[in-house]
Each structure stands twice: as C-alpha cells, then as structure tokens.
Structure 1
Amino acid sequence: MNKIARKLSRTSAFHLPGMALAVVIAAAIPGASSADEADAKNLLKKMSDFLAAQKALSFSYDADLEVVTNDNQKLALANSGSVSLTRPDKIRATRHGGFANMEMVFDGKTATLLGKNANAYVQVETPGSVDHLVNELRDKYNRPVPAADLLLTDVYGELMADVTNVKDLGSGVIGGTECDYLAFRAKDVDWQIWIAQGEHPYPCRYVITSKQVAHSPQYSITFRDWKSGDGVAAQDYSFSAPANARKVDLKELAESDELPKNFVIGGKK
C-alpha cells in the first residue's frame, strides 16, 4: 500500500489552466466497534483467499487517476483496460486512455510493454512469478500493473501492512452488484473497497486517497466482467511484434507512464 502512496505523492501539481469547480461534501462517520472491525477484516481476508485460489482470472476495468494543478484544480485522467492472469507466472494487461494505448504481456520470463500509438515496445527479462513481476515493474521501473495489489497471492497481507483504522460501512451497489463496503486508514493513504457479496467475493471498486498531497487526490478503479477458472478465455501469453514495430529503451516509451509527458510534476504539500 505504501508503494501506491509514493506514486500518488508524486502527482501533486501540474502546470495546467483552471477550468472547473469542485464540490466537497464532508460526512461525519462514527468510529467502528471492535466487532465491526473484525467483520471488515474477515471480509477482506475472504476476498483475498478467494482471489488467491483462482488459478486463472480475468476482468475489465475503468480507472481514474486524480492530479492537482498548481492553482489547486483537481483533474482526473481516465482510462480503461483489461487483465488476464494465469498463476503463477502469466499475465496480459491493457490500458487505453486519452494519452496512451498500452499492452503488457508476461510469459514467465520476459515482460513486454507495447505502446500501440508509437508502435514501439520494450522488453525486460524478469523471470519469476506474477508477484515478482508486479514488484519489479512497480518498484524498479515505476510502471505499475493495473490493480496490482489485488493480483498478488497475499492480497490481505499487502493491503493490511500499514493499516491503523478499519471500518465496516455496510453495503453499497456497484454496477448492479450488492457489495460489502469497507474503509481503511494507513499512515500515508486512506483506502476503500467494495467486495461482491455471496460465494464469489471479488472486488468491485477500489479507491486510494493520498494524505501526503494537498487536496487529497485519489486513484480509483472499478471492475467488471470478472471471470475465473473455466470461464476465463484461453490466452496466448507470447509476444509477437506488430509489423514495423521498433524495440526501444523504456525511457523512450513515454506513453507507458500513466501521466502524459506534458504534465510537469510538482511537490508534496
């Protein structure tokens, strides 16, 4: 969780013109009882165990990364994509937004990032599991996989590492699915998760709020079309370069980052 906080903390200010107003509504929420806290932890652990037990899974998503301009305007960079995963060491992920159209594929040995707009690709040798790949791309190359925290084999351990406060806020409905609504506080971030009720407790929405950046920008991701086991379409995790595609260094593939190159990163609050 602190890894995501570091990424959010770098997106604090950008040189852009002001364009819109924002409305913030504050609500007083009572503290959770010990029973509610235990229930929330149990629901999160149930989700974690369910995801870890799936040898194959896939989903589509819509995500927003908020940034704050140097004149204190919040903007949200929206993108959509899909993820297919076969444990322990295969994954294919896409991310398509207004500034980039990316695909990442990992065959257990080599991770390939393809910038479809630039028709250019990068390859990194990083043999190992999906867990290893997620950590390498996020920590070493600053190229996080969409919903990375939720793809690891121990989601509960990753998310709960720095948590100081837990709330069970009842239920909510995401995309027509009734969910358990949980909220957590950690040193650098607050985060919320909505988990589908029933025998398939997959995450429906995940929201992270930075506490280290002025105006508390958020990263949010909403999931749809979850499939697991035999419901996952067969995937080819090998990479075949498109016609005339160029192999380049990572620094040359600007669209692999979630932030467009014309955004200038400012400081923390």
Structure 2
Amino acid sequence: MTYRVLVHLPSVRLASHLNALIHRAMSAEVAAHEIIEPDVAHHVIDSDGRLGLLPLNAHPLETALPVLRMAERDSWALALPLPGALGPLRGPRGFNEAALEAGEAVIGVTAGVGLVPTRIGPAVQWRVFAAERPFTTLTPYDAERALNEVVLEAARTLSNLEVAAGTRPREERSLRLAPGYPSRQLATAERAARLLRAADAALADDGGAISVFEADQRGTVLRRLRAAASDALCAAVSFPPGPQSSVG
C-alpha cells in the first residue's frame, strides 16, 4: 500500500480555510491565496451543477469560495480515507471511491456536497460530488488522547522488538491552518502531521528488523500510529473555531 504524506495534501488547507470563512475569520480573497499559495492554481469543477456553478467550466477557486461559503453554514469535515478505514465518509459510492483514490476529501456537514482534489502538474482541480452527511468524528481532545496512547504503545513495542521506528523525514514543512483555530487544535494538528510523515518514512524501510515476525509487528504498530495521527489531524481540522476563538 502506498502512503501519502498528508501534510502536503490540499484538503487540509481547503477544509481549515472553509471553516474560517464560516466564522468570518478571513476574507474569501485571502483564503484563496492561502489555499493556492504552494501551487500555481486551483480550479473547481461542478459537473452536476450542485453548487450552481456552470457545469462545463473550470472555475477559479477565488470564484468558487464565496459559493462554497454560502452552501455550508455549519462546518466542513476533512477526510483522509484508506482502504478499510473510510473515516467520516458516508457515501454515496461514487464520492467514496473518488475520495479513496485521492486519499483525501472535504465534506460539507449539511451542504450535501464534497470536494475531491486531483493534482495536475503544479495545479489542483477540485471536483464537486454529492455527499451524505459525514459520520461524526472524534473531538480534538479525544483524538489527541487516543494519539498519546498509541504513541506510548508504539514506543514500548518498538523498544521491546529492538528495532528502529525509522529515519526522520528529510523535508520538514510546517502545517499551516487558517486563522482562528485555538492553539490546542493547532498544536494537535502540527503534531499529528509530524507523526504522519514519520510513520510514512518508517513504513518505507524495515527499521533493522531481522525476522518476518519483527517486521510484521513493527508494521502493525506503525500503521496504528499512522491511523491515530490521521484521526487526530482530521479532528483538529474538522472541528471549526468558534466566533470568539483566536490563535495563540
């Protein structure tokens, strides 16, 4: 199975900035710039006209963001699905399959729509799908607590096996959420992203395991760690900041 480095995925940026727009923590123009900044351009394809955008056009994200803000007044959920672990995805099948193939999606909690990105060279194209209301995810607090438990378990298991967790990823790119998120959620998201990247790097080598048993045990522990980190990142991003929240 190929694991993606989730901190680089555009759905993290889109979900957090859409939530910030709901609570008027920033303007649509600034949000579009922040979402697009690492790339050349982002466009939205509304093939079935679910957002009321012209279905045959590729709409610049700057144009689509105000429409998305009006479509969802509650919150946007981040999904980072893997086979057998779909997270908040509830369907329909076409949306689930597209999100699973991409490894990521953004879901409007009440809007009945979801967006799935496709990277095209240095640009990103977002496709709009019909989407059921997502399953409820863990709260950021519960996800953080679960992650702490898995981290401790992983440390104990790897120590007992006398194998390495893996090499630290060379590239260190900080996770940036939209303004307005409480400092604890920001810290949880940043830590979860670091652990995701570390788990991805560790799963790419055997960590010095000398037996099939050790390799299997190590892989199981790292996959659990990765799943818990993914849940924590989704929870931190999906629970939007309140109107009075501030960073720091």
More helix by share: 2
Superposition TM-score, scaled by structure 1 size:
0.23
More strand by share: 1
Superposition TM-score, scaled by structure 2 size:
0.24
